[in-house]
Structure 1
Amino acid sequence: MKLYERFADKEFHTSIATSFGIDFDAYENIVLPRLRGAGCRNNLVLADGRMLTHALCGASALPHHAGRLYTITGIGAPGVFHPKLFLQAGRRRGRLIVSSANLTTPGLGGNLELAGMVMSDEPGSGEQQLVAAGWQYLSRFLNGDQQATAAQIDWMLTRAPWLAKATPATGPVGLADGTLAALLTTGQTSGIGQRFTDLVSEPVERLIVISPYWDPNLAALSYLTERLSPGEVSVLLDPECTVFPKWALGKVQVMRLYDRGDFRKGRFIHAKAIIAQTATADHVLVGSANCTLPALGDADFAGSNEEACLYRRLPPGSMADALGLDAILTSERQLDPATLPDLDLAEELPMGELAALNPGRFECRVDTLTWHPADAFDPAVCTITLLDQHGKPMPCRLMPLTSSGETQRFEIGETQERPAFARVQHENGRVSAPSIVTLIDRLRAVVRETSSRQADNALRQLDDETETSLMLLDVLGVLEQIEHGEPSGKKPISIPKSRKDEEGGAAAYKTLSYEQFIAGRRLRTENQLPHNSLAGSDISIVRSFLNRVIGLDADERDEEEDQSPMPARAFDLGDETGDGQAALDAGEEFDTEKTQREEEERERAEYRRTAATKKATKEQIVAAVAAFSKRIRERRKSGALDNHDVIRLRALLMIVCTAAIPVAPAKDSKAKGSRLQVLPPEGDPNSWPTVIGRTLFEIFGGKNPGIRHLYLIGEHDQVPDDILECWATCYWCLQACLTAPVLLCERKRLTRYVKPLAELAYLLTLPTKAELLSPDVTGLMSAMSEAYGKRLGIEGETIASAHRAMVEALFSKSAHHEATAV
């Protein structure tokens, strides 16, 4: 196969790739665009930690998208981290590619490499068991100590639940084509070499070995020959090979060397293959393992590298035929060992020195930098310098925050630029290699599935909408079901369960009650960077729609993302004549008496339809509020509220505001009322102030308000923008109820019931004066006044003044109580 072409295959949302070395240009220009173009946007890379440092020290160009569009993690091993696995997961299927190719330009397009692929479609199939075995192996290195990768894995498992449920293969399994296969990885008590030879239970006629690297004394090859006792050992070599120890040939009996000749001439043979040919089968091992003891091990040594290989039991002679080896392994192509050049091993990389240059791992959420230091750098005597995408120092200030254990946290101040790398300097002057800073919030925003047709159809309804209507709740319902992979009609899960690794390690993330979250939050700062708890979800598009409706800038696109195409009807206002010239040519009359009568009849029919729609819409809004209250009560009892409930609350409040009829519209007003305005201001059990109060009571009222059961993921250390926007919407709606120019008796009733609810809402959401009066809150309230205040006859300054007065009164009352207690 052409490996790079497989990256463009669709139906997968997640990829996990492993490699010894990494070339960022190769991954970002060959692999990543194909993956993302195919809808696979949740991408992780694992590479040998020392080779990652080597790449960041200049062996590769610095990455442009690492930590922003994908994560890369350096892995340690007693020997080297050397597997070449490529696992992909989708909603219904998975794929595992086991190869010899590194994520480098030669590996992806220059060398001669070998790969085996397994596609899983059927539950319980051998293919699915192999994919699950691949995931079981990879999960050893994804232990949740980094927030970004932990979130990526949880995101994957939520959208590929079959992967967690599938039984990993522990030995050979049958495949759909009738052959057998097994995934052989390191980490077991016995090495890959021993397990491979155990699978060959019949006499071996010929053992074919292809490997770019060997032991100096051919120890691994000697072990394989001893265990399998082949009639012949055939080794394919480039006659100019300088890494084959010809002086050790005497250690292996019946060995013959063959000249590759013109076989894929000009391409370095980086493939690794062991083929044990018997009378009934080809027993094949392909993957990352060279024919060396660190890779394959022997009877007394399991190996020191991390490796992964695929075993296949194929029909006799099929593998040699598929690779074209029959035409090469002939007597005419046999090499005289004496003609081979002497052993000339390349200078090895200084792995120890590279390890000492690694400063550890860095993550950043909005303006909070987290450092997981490596052993070589003591945080107490080191300073951090943040670097931009060109590797140049960024002017900024790092202020220490509360930290736990060895993990260090800092607030990044005096800059709006996002860091790409970090470098650490020891007090003795020793400087680390640059380390990638993973931007958790940006990564989360771009890690999402390609919208399904169902989601597209739901979101398309928002394209031409300029006001909130009940349709929005239907859109939210559809998106929630899709996000949780549920059949229609099933309620969404309240909180994702914290995932723990098999060893009982720390949870990948935890959730906090809103009260716990508020107690440990960090106050927001001016010029706050975007912080959206819905990022990466189609539901975030609903949030953008709500902001657009009230005139706020809702563009959250990342500069690294492709610009979304403009919706086909973005500028179609629905008021243009379909074919004006054709209408004139047909002789249509525009000012005749007949036309006037027809117009009047149409108006009467439209009035009847509008009246019926208003009645139905009013009933539907009241029913929607009742359904929301029931939803909150049920989720309060059986689970917990989450950010989906918060965006639903905001949407419902804006729907009620859209449906509100002003108290006394001016007779000379030229403004036309909306057909959606159906809720009267007073004199009705379902007046809009009453409906707003009813909506908010389940969240903030009673002895057990719903907000006490609101949970947020513990990865947030500040109130996210989408949550803050909802609270500000609540404040505006409550003040609109309290300041609406209704009759005195209604004013007294609203003050009696709504004011205590408003005070509770303020204290339970943002319990500091500074937060309640922050520009983020007052700015959104001002936008609500522009969108809804004018049409309701309520001045924006009236609501703003009432809001300030309530905040001042609440905190002066609180201060008085504290003074009295003292």
Structure 2
Amino acid sequence: MRLYERFADKGYHSSIATTFGIDFDAYENIVLPRIRGAGCRNNMVLADARMLTHALGGASPLPRQAGRLYTASGAQVAGLFHPKLFLQIGRQGGRLFIGSANLTAAGLAGNLELVTLLTSGVEDDGAQRLIAQAYRYLSSLIDPADPMLPTQFEWMLARAAWLRSAAPAEGPVELGDGTRAALLLSNSPEGIGARFAREIDGEVKRLIVISPYWDERLGALSALAERLRPRAIAALIDTDTGLFPRDATGSISGITLYRRDGFGGSRFIHAKALIAQTDTADHLLIGSANCTVAALGTGNTSGSNSEASLYRQLPPGRAVSELGLEKVLTPERRIEAEKLPPLHVEDDIPFDALSQSHPGIFAVHGDTLSWRPAAQIGAPEAYEVELLAASVAPLVSNPTRLEGADHRRIRFQIEATDDLPAFARLIGPQEFTPGIITHIDALQIAIRETHSRQTENALAQLDGETEATLALLEVQDLLEKIEDRDADGHGEGVSIPKARKETDEGGQKHRQLSYDDFIAGRRPHQSGHVQHNSLGGSDVSIVRGFLNRIVGLNSLVTPVDENDEDALKAAFDLGDETQNAEAAMAAGEEFAAKPTSRPVPDGGEEEQRRNARRAKATKDQLVKAAADFAKRIELKQESGSLSSRDFLRLRALLMIICAASWRGTDKAGEKPKDRTSLQVLPVEGDANSWPYVLGRLIFKVFGGSKPAIRSLKLDSVHDQLPADLLECWATCFWCMHACLCARLSPGVNGGAKVGRGGGVKSGQLGGAPWRARWPHSWREPWRTGPLGPIVGRYFMVISAVYGLCCWRGDSFRRSSR
């Protein structure tokens, strides 16, 4: 098979590739486009740590997408990290490539490689157990302190219910074709060679060995010969490389050397295979292990390298036939050892120096850069960090070291730049290679599963929509049900792992922070390409994207020059600006970029009655949705805590109510000249006028003696308020101003009682009393000044954080996670 063609197969959402050496250009041009195009977006690469440093030091073109579309990490082991596994996981099964090919141009398309493929479904069978064994092995390689890999593994496992319950193989298993197989990994005291020999019963007629690299004394081959006692040994030799130790053949009885002429053309043979032929079976071992002591071990001693090979028991003669070895292992291709060139091995890779050149691990979350220094860096405080673009050009940014960091994890605040920083370079006493920066927020956006049919049907309801309607809540309900159902183990997977239940027993699970403590510990937001998003990786975030789209706000914001007034106006122009905002509001002017629905036609009396009934039904549904949300908040306070999804629902509901509001009333005789069919909530004259409904919703979350905002729980990974929460709070703040500026008849809400801090005790919002008591400084700056509404947009977001947090929501709960 052509390996690179199989990467385009669909049905998998995650991949883990292990390799000794890496060529970023080959991976990003051959593998990554194919797997991502097939819907596999959660991708990880594990390479030998020293070879990864070697690649970043100039042995490979530097990556363009590492840290943003996939993670590239180094595995540190005693010897060489040498397995070549490519594991893919999906909801309905998985597959595992095991072979000899590295993630290099030569390995993927140049060398003669040997790769085998195992595929499994959701049913318990031999292939599934081998895949589960490979997953367990790869999980053991993950550093828990890595900024992203544990999250990626959790994301993958959450979407593969079958893998969560699969039993890893502990030895040979039977495959669907009736043959036996075993995954032999270098995680056992017994060597791979000894375990392979243990599976062979009966007399070995011939042992066939294919390997590009050998021991200087053929130690591994001698150990196999002593254990198996084959009648004959056939070794396939590339006579041009000078990699075979010709002088050591005298110590091995019965060995015959064969030229590889015509086998694989002129390509370098990088394949590794052992075939022990008996009267009843061909015993095949293929994978990453060369015929060396470091790979196969000797006797009961394991090799020093980390390797992965697959054992297969096949019908007699099948392995030789499938590999086309009959035409190679012929008498005319025999060659005497003395005719081979002498052994000439040059190890030009300075592994010791590379071990000292690794700078550590860098990650960016929001505007915070974290650096976990490598163990050999004794004084990390002596180094400064320089940020580099993907082109390795230095960025105009000066990371500011934050206080409170220790030598194990140092944090910096970074400034927004035109380009995302791709690499970090240490400036100090010693020179290090650049380190890849893992962008946690960007990866959370990139790691998105191909939508299921249910999700696609739900999202289809939003296609072409330009207004927030109740259908949006139905979509969010469906997405949440899919996630929660699968989180309980009743579905095929989940979009976000279900939060663990937190209690106060058995140690500290969370801690309460006052508002001042919370603000003291947060980092200010920076205008950058990627923002904090607590909904990242969840299908529910699609609802957030829809809300941002209809108000003209992109979720990924590119910074603009603050001195460029035209750019600022363009960035914040939603079509609702006016030269005189106060006069326009006093006149009851509506603000919309484009009319989103046509006015009700002036039909007959029957049509007007139908429109009235439809409007009343929609109005009742809106009021009921607001009441249901209030009950939901009460239940969440009693049984748990508020999450980001609740605030997304609050924002959606507020926008729906605003879209359904209009400046008139339903009084008899008043003719709605420009009223649309969506505008069913009047400004006054009704117990459920839109200022009342908006006020009750906001008060439910932020008001009362025990405001629900106190139950908001944020993961400790967030050192600033996520953008989705800020967007919700800014929406709340806008709604407050809308209520304050609503055109009301004299005396309408005149008896409303206003509580301490602006909270309306009766739940009524709007009207003169609230307007009179609301701090003047909070409602005037956005109306006045030379920049007018543009300054107001900045002020609104800033005020939202302060005002809504202080408004009876003076404490937060932060998760210990």
Q: TM-score range by the shorter chain?
A: 0.7 to 0.9
Match of 2:769 in 1: none
Match of 2:814 in 1: none
Deviation, structure 1 residue 605: 5.1
Match of 2:442 in 1: 442
SS of the equivalent of 1:357 reads: coil
Deviation, structure 1 residue 610: 2.1
Match of 1:49 in 2: 49
Match of 2:713 in 1: 711
Deviation, structure 1 residue 195: 1.4
Q: Indicate conservation of the 8 Å contact 2:659/2:679, yes or no.
A: yes
Where does 1:257-276 land on structure 2 (aligned, <5 Å)? 257-276=257-276
Q: Indicate conservation of the 8 Å contact 1:399/1:412, yes or no.
A: yes
Between the aligned partners of 2:490 and 2:165, the Cα distance in structure 1 is 21
Q: Note the aligned Cα RMSD (angstroms).
A: 4.0
Match of 1:39 in 2: 39
Letter in 2 for 1:659: A
Between the aligned partners of 1:8 and 1:733, the Cα distance in structure 2 is 48
Between the aligned partners of 1:702 and 1:546, the Cα distance in structure 2 is 28
* 1:423 counterpart = 2:425: yes
Where does 1:377-776 land on structure 2 (aligned, <5 Å)? 377=377, 378-401=379-402, 402-404=404-406, 406-413=408-415, 415-427=417-429, 430-483=430-483, 486=486, 496-497=498-499, 518=518, 521-525=521-525, 527-531=527-531, 532-553=533-554, 603-604=604-605, 606-663=607-664, 672-743=674-745, 746-752=748-754, 756-757=758-759
Farther-moved stretch of structure 1 (189-198 vs 803-812): 803-812
Q: Indicate conservation of the 8 Å contact 2:470/2:656, yes or no.
A: yes
Where does 1:165-204 land on structure 2 (aligned, <5 Å)? 165-204=165-204
Please identify which structure carries the higher helix content: 1
Where does 1:11-410 land on structure 2 (aligned, <5 Å)? 11-377=11-377, 378-401=379-402, 402-404=404-406, 406-410=408-412
SS of the equivalent of 1:73 reads: strand
Q: Indicate conservation of the 8 Å contact 1:701/1:760, yes or no.
A: no
Between the aligned partners of 2:808 and 2:283, the Cα distance in structure 1 is 82
Q: Indicate conservation of the 8 Å contact 1:731/1:803, yes or no.
A: no
SS of the equivalent of 2:754 reads: helix
Letter in 2 for 1:141: L
**Unpaired segments ≥5 residues, structure 1:** 500-509, 559-570, 576-598, 762-768, 780-784, 787-795, 816-822
Deviation, structure 1 residue 715: 2.3
SS of the equivalent of 2:267 reads: coil
> How has the CA–CA distance of structure 1 residues 470 and 126 changed in structure 2, closer, same or farther, with 3 Å as cutoff?
same
Letter in 2 for 1:442: A
Deviation, structure 1 residue 778: 7.0
Letter in 1 for 2:148: A
TM-score w.r.t. the length of structure 1 is: 0.83
Deviation, structure 1 residue 186: 0.9
Farther-moved stretch of structure 1 (693-702 vs 717-726): 693-702
Q: Indicate conservation of the 8 Å contact 2:25/2:61, yes or no.
A: yes
Letter in 1 for 2:426: V
SS of the equivalent of 2:399 reads: strand
Deviation, structure 1 residue 521: 4.2
Letter in 2 for 1:168: P
TM-score w.r.t. the length of structure 2 is: 0.83
Deviation, structure 1 residue 640: 3.2
Letter in 2 for 1:167: A
SS of the equivalent of 1:132 reads: helix
Farther-moved stretch of structure 1 (694-703 vs 344-353): 694-703
Deviation, structure 1 residue 498: 6.6
Letter in 1 for 2:316: P
Deviation, structure 1 residue 552: 3.4
Q: Indicate conservation of the 8 Å contact 1:4/1:31, yes or no.
A: yes
Deviation, structure 1 residue 137: 0.6
Between the aligned partners of 2:2 and 2:510, the Cα distance in structure 1 is 44
Q: Indicate conservation of the 8 Å contact 2:703/2:808, yes or no.
A: no
> How has the CA–CA distance of structure 1 residues 328 and 523 changed in structure 2, closer, same or farther, with 3 Å as cutoff?
closer
Deviation, structure 1 residue 71: 0.6
SS of the equivalent of 2:619 reads: helix
> How has the CA–CA distance of structure 1 residues 34 and 739 changed in structure 2, closer, same or farther, with 3 Å as cutoff?
same
Q: Indicate conservation of the 8 Å contact 2:4/2:108, yes or no.
A: yes
SS of the equivalent of 2:227 reads: helix
SS of the equivalent of 2:286 reads: strand
Letter in 2 for 1:218: L
> How has the CA–CA distance of structure 1 residues 397 and 247 changed in structure 2, closer, same or farther, with 3 Å as cutoff?
same
The Cα offsets for residues 453-510 of structure 1, whole Å up to 9 and x where unpaired, read as 33233223223222211000011122234455639999999973479xxxxxxxxxx9
Deviation, structure 1 residue 680: 3.4
Between the aligned partners of 1:728 and 1:158, the Cα distance in structure 2 is 33
SS of the equivalent of 1:752 reads: coil
Between the aligned partners of 1:399 and 1:760, the Cα distance in structure 2 is 48
**Unpaired segments ≥5 residues, structure 2:** 502-508, 560-593, 764-773, 784-788, 811-817
> How has the CA–CA distance of structure 1 residues 669 and 759 changed in structure 2, closer, same or farther, with 3 Å as cutoff?
same
Between the aligned partners of 2:522 and 2:627, the Cα distance in structure 1 is 35
Q: Indicate conservation of the 8 Å contact 2:367/2:416, yes or no.
A: no
Between the aligned partners of 2:426 and 2:10, the Cα distance in structure 1 is 41
Farther-moved stretch of structure 1 (252-261 vs 30-39): 252-261
> How has the CA–CA distance of structure 1 residues 740 and 112 changed in structure 2, closer, same or farther, with 3 Å as cutoff?
same
Deviation, structure 1 residue 31: 0.4
> How has the CA–CA distance of structure 1 residues 529 and 263 changed in structure 2, closer, same or farther, with 3 Å as cutoff?
closer
Between the aligned partners of 2:82 and 2:706, the Cα distance in structure 1 is 55
Name the % identity. 46
Q: Indicate conservation of the 8 Å contact 1:192/1:297, yes or no.
A: yes
> How has the CA–CA distance of structure 1 residues 246 and 814 changed in structure 2, closer, same or farther, with 3 Å as cutoff?
closer
Deviation, structure 1 residue 422: 1.2
Between the aligned partners of 2:193 and 2:804, the Cα distance in structure 1 is 77
> How has the CA–CA distance of structure 1 residues 345 and 629 changed in structure 2, closer, same or farther, with 3 Å as cutoff?
same
Between the aligned partners of 1:512 and 1:494, the Cα distance in structure 2 is 23
Deviation, structure 1 residue 676: 2.0
Deviation, structure 1 residue 553: 4.3
Farther-moved stretch of structure 1 (692-701 vs 615-624): 692-701
SS of the equivalent of 1:629 reads: helix
SS of the equivalent of 2:87 reads: strand
Between the aligned partners of 1:38 and 1:483, the Cα distance in structure 2 is 23
SS of the equivalent of 1:413 reads: coil
Deviation, structure 1 residue 68: 1.2
Between the aligned partners of 1:33 and 1:12, the Cα distance in structure 2 is 14
Between the aligned partners of 2:445 and 2:481, the Cα distance in structure 1 is 20
SS of the equivalent of 2:356 reads: helix
Between the aligned partners of 1:754 and 1:654, the Cα distance in structure 2 is 27
Q: Indicate conservation of the 8 Å contact 2:729/2:804, yes or no.
A: no
Farther-moved stretch of structure 1 (120-129 vs 207-216): 120-129
SS of the equivalent of 1:747 reads: coil
Deviation, structure 1 residue 808: 8.9
